Amino acid sequence: MTIPEKLIYPRTGDKETIYLKPVIQNPNITVGDFTMYNDFVNDPVLFEKNNVLYQYPINHDKLKIGKFCSIACGAKFLFNSANHTLSSLSTYPFPLFFKEWDLLKENVTQAWDNKGDIVIGHDVWIGYEAVILAGVTIGDGAIIGTRAVVTKDVEPYTIVGGIPAKPIRKRFSDEVISALEEIKWWDWPEYKIKENLPAIQNGDMMQLKKAAGK
């Protein structure tokens, strides 16, 4: 079941927590159903303005966030245009000031190194004021610690923290992680997820596998 577009505030009387998908307008940002964002400092509806930074249309880079993610206050997604190129002898962004330096406007993206999109899997928890850099992919079920700066890909169901973020531990055994990646409960219809919430919440893999027909 897709969340109705008008259902922004899922909790009665709570204007700090939103479902993110209905408020996204930028075509280069996609968010899955039930992904939530909480902000007790700024209006959470302004997520695109306050949390997705340097995503200039000229670069065509994308932010892709899966279903059932939890994004804490102040988490930032820092895109390629925040970079200054390292392939030049100078880090000064001359191409941005193409008129002054008689450069071609169409080469403005040469001012930065393009590392690619930011891709967040399903059921990912991103902690308070964490920063995710361009080119990073975060696997399903991962947890990003408070104020971590994520510069490299994060494996599924792995907890990372620090600056730069490094693996702390895996949440489950390789066997359980493999099963969860195969089951993909987040793609089930809403009624099926409801029926199996006790198994999901209590870690009953046998019941979850049974429900998935595995």
84 has catalytic annotation: yes
End-to-end, the C-alpha distance of the chain in Å comes to 23
Contact 73, 38 (CB under 8 A): yes
**What is the C-alpha separation between 57 and 60, in angstroms, rounded?**
5
Cα separation of 144 and 146, whole Å?
Answer: 7
Starting at the edge strand that comes first in sequence, how are the strands of the sheet with 118-120 ordered?
29-31, 63-65, 118-120, 137-138
Distance CA 8, CA 29 (A): 17
Question: 40 in the Ramachandran plot: left (φ > 0), alpha (ψ -120 to 50) or beta?
Answer: alpha
Q: Which of 62, 84, 171, 209 is catalytic?
A: 84
Q: Which residues are designated catalytic? A: 84
